[in-house]
Amino acid sequence: MKLSQLFAKTKKETPKETEVISHRYLTRADFIEQSFSGVYRFLPLGFRVLKKIEKIIREEMLNLGAQEMYLPVLQNKNLWLETDRWQTIDPPLFKLKDRHKKEIALGSTHEEEITDIVRHRVKSWQDLPLYLFQIQDKFRNEMRASGGLLRTREFLMKDLYSFHNSEKDLINFYNKVKKSYFRIFKRCGLKAVCVEASPGTIGGKLSHEFMLISEAGEDKILICKRCGFGANIEKVGKIKKCPKCRSNLEKKNCIEVGHIFNLGIKYSKIMGARYLDKNGKSKPIIMGCYGIGLSRLMAAVVEINHDKKGIIWSKEISPFDIHLIEIGGGQENKIKNETEKLYKNLGREGIEVLYDDRDKSAGEKFVDADLMGIPIRIVISEKTLEKNCVEVKKRDQEKVRLVKIDQISNYKF
Ligand SMILES: [Zn+2]
């Protein structure tokens, strides 16, 4: 993609009402734009990142043996009445009326929907275990939407649900999902910690949250450096000593990027999702559910990985692989021709290149490159061409290397 063609206008000024760094940088680099409070537009650069995060999550879910589905945003009130969550879920549901004055909910989660689907299909122990997931828009009627993509009223989320015929089988799968979540966050360039959490109005027996330690986060956790114990303050209260090893606990602000729940039989019991065991006895299905907010994850990456100049994407979720800059490339001169040639060659090899072909100063181009945060920057100028070279710089390092143009496709970035 040539930058002159890209639908993105970077801004020098920090926009108003941006409280956190991710909101500031993502807006200034034109990845996202607020439409109104808690509702965001994803522009081409932001959408590319979102799609890459989605790809990682989908791959990891399929690796767990889960099957992808797509459930409706508009949800039947009767299902929510069955579980008594129509009035009680927190944050509350967005509700609307159709032209017959029938009430409908905009889904904030899908336990009712999925349990309804499964109760009509699973008959015996032989139908279990079963793992189903979707990646879809969700809605929350937040009192106060702030912090850019960290707390929104409409957001993209992956939700996975699992169905088992024994607690042991559920715990086994629950632990596999934990490992899978660590892989997802690692591939996004993050180091998450997993802590005990309060299940809230999703409910169930126990839950764990995946947290990124960050001042921008609204959650507070207590962690033990000695044994690795961690818990959300909501869950354990303001205790001073580790319940496992009695060491002093440390309090940290953090951003929640994933939450997994051992639901037990909470939904299957109320909604009658049952199976026949090996002895022909009817039992409620044991369930788990596992969420990751993709749009929040994108903001969380920026909260963790940035510097004074802008964003620093990790390789797998960067909107492009390489930011290619020509300096002094006028109409049809050697610099322009060489850069065009390199751009085409890299593209042929499947490398996604953002080529800054604009008629702007080197300074302006570097500022935009640093703000957008693509991990590799390649510069071609008269000076580098004298040595048949390009200049390669990683976004997270100061060091600049000269690499021969004809070696660049073999170069290990
Ligand atoms: Zn401890």
Instruction: Determine the distance separating the centroid of ligand 1 and the alpha carbon of 207, expressed in angstroms.
Output: 19
Query: Do 103 and 158 share a domain, yes or no?
Result: yes
Are 266 and 397 within one domain?
no
At 14-39, the pLDDT tens digits run 888 888 999 999 999 999 999 999 99
Same domain as 37, residue 179: yes
Domain count of the chain?
2
User: Mean pLDDT over residues 220-245, rounded?
Assistant: 94
CATH number of residue 78's parent domain: 3.30.930.10
In tens, the pLDDT along 171-205 reads: 999 999 999 999 999 999 999 999 999 888 888 88
**pLDDT tens digit sequence for 246-292:** 999 999 999 999 999 999 999 999 999 999 999 999 999 999 999 99
Looking at residue 355, its pLDDT comes to 98
Largest CA distance in the chain: 81
Q: Is residue 314 part of a domain?
A: no
Its domain, for residue 402, covers 320-410
Whether 52 maps to a domain, the answer reads yes
pLDDT in tens, 333-353: 899 999 999 999 999 999 999
Residues 270 and 346 placed together within one structural domain of the fold? no
Shared domain for 291 and 337, answered yes or no, is: no
Tell me what percent of the residues of the chain surpass a pLDDT of 70. Answer: 100
Assess if residue 10 is contained within a domain.
no
CB 138 within 8 A of CB 155: yes
| Residue of 130, 94, 88, 106 lying closest to 268 (CA atoms) | 130
Mean pLDDT of 402-411: 89
The two three-digit tokens of residue 365, written as one number: 């181009």
pLDDT of residue 261: 97
Q: Tens digit of pLDDT for each residue in 46-88?
A: 999 999 999 999 999 999 999 999 999 999 999 999 999 999 9
Residues with CB under 5 A from ligand 1 (ion): 224, 226-227, 229, 242, 244-245, 247
Residue 226 Cα to ligand 1 midpoint, Å, equals 5
| Residue 280 maps to a domain | yes
pLDDT of residue 346: 94
Residue by residue, DSSP assigns 218-277 as SEEEEE-TTT--EEEHHHH-S--B-TTT-PBPEEEEEEEEEEEEEEETHHHHHHT-EEE-
C-beta of residue 277 within 8 angstroms of C-beta of residue 256: no
Of all residues in the chain, what percent are helix, strand and coil, respectively (each to 5)?
A: 30, 30, 40
Q: Is the same domain home to 287 and 329?
A: no
Q: How far is the CA of 230 from the centre of ligand 1 (A)?
A: 8
The last residue of one of the domains, among 304, 338, 357, is: 304
Percentage of the chain exceeding pLDDT 90: 91
Residue range 295-336, pLDDT digits in tens: 999 999 999 999 999 999 999 999 999 999 999 877 678 999
Residue 300, pLDDT score: 97
Question: Which one of 272, 304, 336 terminates a domain?
Answer: 304
Same domain, 241 and 194: yes
pLDDT of res. 411: 79
Whether residues 225 and 373 share a domain: the answer is no
Q: How far is the CA of 236 from the centre of ligand 1 (A)?
A: 14
* pLDDT for position 36: 94
Does residue 405 register a pLDDT over 90? yes
Residue 205: the pLDDT is: 81
